[in-house]
Amino acid sequence: MPSDSTAERFEFAFDRRLARPLALLGIRPDTCRLLLTASWLEVRFGPWTVRTPLDNVAGAELTGPFKVWKVIGARMSMADRGLTFGTNTEQGVCIRFHQPVRGIEPSGVLRHPGLTLTIADPPTVAHRLREISAASR
């Protein structure tokens, strides 16, 4: 995989009121980011990592605002197995995948059809991922 310097890098937006509790889980600005390389999407969120080929991206939508208990930290929806990596309640990007991805547990038994991220610039990230999705069709 190309180095971080050759990738598009997007930071998470942290709510200052939630920074300390998130830091206890290893979720800090220096341990969280979205990278888009020529062929991969990689998200690091504290101790968790999601990595998938770009051609697995089916689409992306803006989402939010969120209830704090539904978004903060690493969360899996019991309704659809979607994964959320959240650091604020304002707005995020929901990424849909053609094939569900590994994420919340290391064995890969649980797979996630979508991933919501509370990135600092959700409109730009959603637009970029829609471009990537359209190009891979």
> What is the per-residue pLDDT across 45-67, written as a single tens digit (0 to 9) for each?
999 999 999 999 999 999 999 99
Cβ neighbourhood burial of 9 (10 Å; 0-12, 13-18, 19+): exposed
* Rounded CA separation 119/126 (Å): 10
Structural domain total, the chain: 1
Residue 136: the pLDDT is 77
Structure tokens at 43: 């998200």
20-41 pLDDT per residue, tens: 999 999 999 999 999 999 999 9
pTM for this prediction: 0.93
74-125 pLDDT per residue, tens: 999 989 999 999 999 999 999 999 999 999 998 889 999 999 999 999 999 9
Q: Residue 62 belongs to what domain range?
A: 4-135
Residue 4: the pLDDT is 54
